[in-house]
Each structure stands twice: as structure tokens, then as C-alpha cells.
Amino acid sequence: MSNPYAPPRAVVHDIADPNAGVVVADRGARLGATILDTFIFSAMVYAPFMAGAILGGVLAAGGDNANPALMSIAVGGALGVIGFVVWCWLTIGYVTRNGQSIGKKLLRIKVVRRDGAPVTLNRLFWLRNFVNGMISFIPLYGFLDALFIFGESRQCLHDRIADTIVVKA
């Protein structure tokens, strides 16, 4: 006679862990990629803007009717926009292909979904960047976001929002 109050019994077959081959990137590599991305962005956008602003001011100072401030802004702005477009084109290409920014590609790490599936450009842009950027208006959020890297899962808050992890490529 079986006990009607006993817990149900079932045969359960173990399935393979989808994250078995995934190696989470270390904190230093993530920090290095962020620093590289910042440096690359600055070199591609801010440096041409500043050089153009200086060049525009020098060119306008030698002219007869040109306004030096307006010329500086125009030349610097044009070069900065060109640099930004090139940076966007490169970054979107890398992210679409394999979930990597330029810095992540150089350090051989990439962003994937928590289950190991490839990440989409929409998820990266809207959840990891846009939503996180809006929340960043809260004082100290950026600091708190970065501190989450020290957790066992090595996921920052923006990773948790987007359901992503950073792994070795």
C-alpha cells in the first residue's frame, strides 16, 4: 500500500549545463577594456575636435572677416562628428559580429547572454547602455554599479539589467 501523503517520485535525467564551457572574464580585463574604450573614444572624437578647434581659430585669425570663435567651433565640430561616426561604425560592427567593443576585442573578452547565447545589439544598446545611463542620474549609482563586479557572479548592475555576462572570447 502506497502512502498518499508521500512526495511524488519521478525519474529525472540530468541535462548538460549550457554554461559549462563559458569562462567569466576577470575583473582586471573588464577594467582594462573600459579604459581602452575610453582612450579610443577620446582619441577618435575629442582629439580631432580639439585639433580642429585650434586649427579653425588659427585659420580664422589670419583671415579678414572670419570670426575666430565661430570658425573654431565649426572646424572642431566637423572633425569631432566625423570621428564619432567612424567610432560608431567600428563599434556597431564589432558588437553586432561578436558582442565586443573595440577594447573588449583587444583584450579578448565579449558580452553574451547569461545562458551563453550571443547578445543582440538592441539588448546591448537599450538595456546595458541606455537604461543604465538613465538610472545613472541617481547620485552614486555609477559607483554602486561598479561595486557589483566584486560579487561572485562578477556582474555589474548593468549586466543584471540586461541579463548578460562578460566572458573570455
pLDDT digit string, tens, across residues 138-165: 999 999 999 999 999 899 999 999 999 9
Angstrom distance (rounded) from CA 39 to CA 103: 9
With residue 142 as reference, give the H or E element that holds it: helix 141-147
| Average pLDDT, rounded, for the chain | 90
Question: What percent of the chain lies above the pLDDT cut of 90?
Answer: 72
Asked if residue 19 belongs to a domain, the reply is no
Angstrom distance (rounded) from CA 74 to CA 53: 8
Angstrom distance (rounded) from CA 40 to CA 103: 8
Residue pLDDT, tens place only, 21-56 = 789 999 999 999 999 999 999 999 999 999 999 988
Q: Among all chains, which residue has been given the C-alpha cell 565586443? A: 100
What is the count of structural domains for the chain?
Answer: 1
Asked if residue 100 belongs to a domain, the reply is yes
Asked if residue 12 belongs to a domain, the reply is no
Asked if residue 3 belongs to a domain, the reply is no
Count of CB atoms within 10 A of residue 123's CB? 18
Residue pLDDT, tens place only, 89-140 = 999 999 999 999 999 999 999 999 998 899 999 999 999 999 999 999 999 9
Tell me the residue range of the domain where 133 lies: 27-168
Q: Among all chains, which residue has been given the C-alpha cell 561578436? A: 98
Alpha-helical runs (H) found in 20-101: 27-41, 47-62, 68-98
pLDDT at residue number 39:
97
